[in-house]
Amino acid sequence: MSNIEIDKLVEQYPNDMELGGKIREMYWGNKKIQEASSDKQPWIYESPDNGKTITRRRLGADLATKETISSKMKKELFGNE
């Protein structure tokens, strides 16, 4: 949210309680949009050890969200390579 948007909200909702309610409404709306779009983001697969261990994360996601895929999932995705 930019400073211009915040300025407009403060002017439109001078009561702190109303302003807080509007900000929370916008926050939760944006969070739902982000969660919905993150489910559609493609996966990035990485292997630091030439395929022994494979990790994945969503495109644009924080590196901390990286997950290691299981041997079973590896076979489903890549066959018997």
Dihedral through CA 44, CA 56, CA 38, CA 3, nearest 10? Answer: -80
- 1-41 pLDDT, tens digit per residue, is 677 788 888 888 888 888 999 888 888 888 887 777 666 77
pLDDT of the residue at 73: 85
pLDDT of the residue at 56: 92
CA–CA distances in Å: residue 63 to residues 17, 22, 27: 37, 32, 23
- 41-78 pLDDT, tens digit per residue, is 788 999 989 888 999 998 888 899 999 998 888 888 87
Question: Given strand 55-58, what is the order of strands in its sheet?
Answer: 43-46, 55-58, 67-68
pLDDT of the residue at 80: 64
Domain residue ranges in the chain: 3-38, 43-78
